[in-house]
């Protein structure tokens, strides 16, 4: 996969499932990340072709739950992100999924407690055998491992989303490496793609919250009304039998940003117990809800 001059959908837990990835791609995303999947869970999965949906499902043995779902339409675009604290296990997980995705990514940045407590995500940045104190030196060391690209989120572990992203520090990383660097942080409008490129010197940009709130941020002609984007997300969630918890979480995030969960729509989403309920709420009953 080529990583230069790309617009990238960032990995987002409970959001980056197949319907949202396809939605972002439809609006112009060149590369779409799936949500982080823990290696422990993936190694317990079997690969199955879902004839009803035309998808490839990685199904957890014992529970029957779909851990990761993909399809041919995104095979050359989707990046599978692994949460791991063990190189051998990470390799085993990557081997399971690598033939069905465009690339595999190791999460070394998530500051959430569920990642860090398991020795994953940002916790990897504290291990003396994996990091030098200086961020640029770390990036150089990662480059030497043979990775083909490095995504850099312009925040420290202790920073919160409300804190400004440190674009200047991303620029220092870009200047020190020869591999493509994907800049991430504070991209909320299409114009921000060019602004962060100029500020950091990178040619590729990753966006998370800006895409979550309105996935049409990737459209060069400008955003579509968020109501239209939301309904298209609902349609795709139904067509691809998306997990109801994931669907509700994504809708709640959209609604919280643009409206309020205290209004009728927000309350109805919270009360929904199935995709059938979601279909009725958004007038999408004409789309068949496929239940496996």
Distance of CA 251 to the CA centre of its chain: 16
Query: Which residue in the list 45, 71, 110, 219 is annotated as catalytic?
Result: 110
Cα 241 to Cα 253: distance, rounded to the nearest angstrom: 20
Q: Are 217 and 188 in contact (CB under 8 A)?
A: yes
How many angstroms separate the Cα of 181 from the Cα of each of 4, 20, 22, 32, 253?
A: 8, 24, 24, 16, 28
150 phi and psi, to 5 degrees?
-135, 120
CB atoms within 10 A of CB 17: 24
Nearest partner of 101 among 47, 150, 145, 180, judged by Cα: 47
Q: Which residues contact 72 (CB under 8 A, 6 or more apart)?
A: 54
Q: Are 198 and 180 in contact (CB under 8 A)?
A: no
- Give catalytic status of residue 110 as yes or no: yes
What HEC string does 111-148 produce? CCHHHHCCCCHHHHHHCCCCCCCCHHHHHHHHHHCCCC
CB atoms within 10 A of CB 52: 10
User: H or E segment at 48?
Assistant: strand 45-50
Catalytic machinery residues: 110
């Amino acid at each position: 996969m080529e990583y230069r001059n790309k617009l990238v959908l960032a990995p987002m837990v409970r959001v980056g499932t197949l319907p949202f990835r396809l939605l972002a791609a439809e609006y112009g995303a060149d590369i779409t990340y799936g949500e982080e999947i823990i290696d422990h869970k993936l190694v317990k999965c079997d690969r199955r072709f879902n004839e009803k949906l035309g998808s490839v499902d990685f199904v957890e043995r014992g529970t029957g739950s779909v851990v990761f779902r993909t399809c041919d339409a995104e095979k050359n675009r989707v990046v599978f992100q692994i949460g791991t604290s063990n190189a051998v296990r990470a390799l085993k997980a990557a081997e399971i999924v690598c033939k069905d995705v465009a690339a595999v990514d190791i999460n070394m940045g998530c500051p959430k407690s569920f990642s860090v407590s398991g020795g994953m995500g940002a916790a990897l940045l504290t291990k003396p055998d994996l990091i030098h104190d200086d961020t640029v030196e770390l990036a150089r060391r990662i480059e030497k491992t043979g990775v083909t690209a490095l995504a850099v989120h312009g925040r420290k572990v202790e920073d919160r989303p409300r804190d400004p992203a440190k674009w200047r520090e991303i620029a220092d990383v870009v200047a020190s490496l020869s591999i493509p660097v994907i800049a991430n942080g504070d991209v909320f409008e299409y114009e921000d793609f060019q602004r962060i490129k100029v500020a950091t010197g990178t040619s590729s940009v990753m966006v998370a919250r800006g895409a979550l709130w309105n996935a049409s941020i990737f459209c060069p002609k400008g955003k579509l009304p968020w109501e239209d984007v939301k309904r298209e997300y609902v349609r795709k969630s139904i067509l691809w039998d998306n997990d109801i918890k994931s669907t509700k979480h994504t809708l709640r995030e959209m609604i919280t940003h643009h409206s309020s969960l205290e209004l009728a729509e927000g309350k109805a989403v919270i009360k929904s117990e199935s995709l059938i309920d979601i279909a009725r709420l958004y007038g999408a009953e004409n789309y068949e809800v496929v239940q496996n």
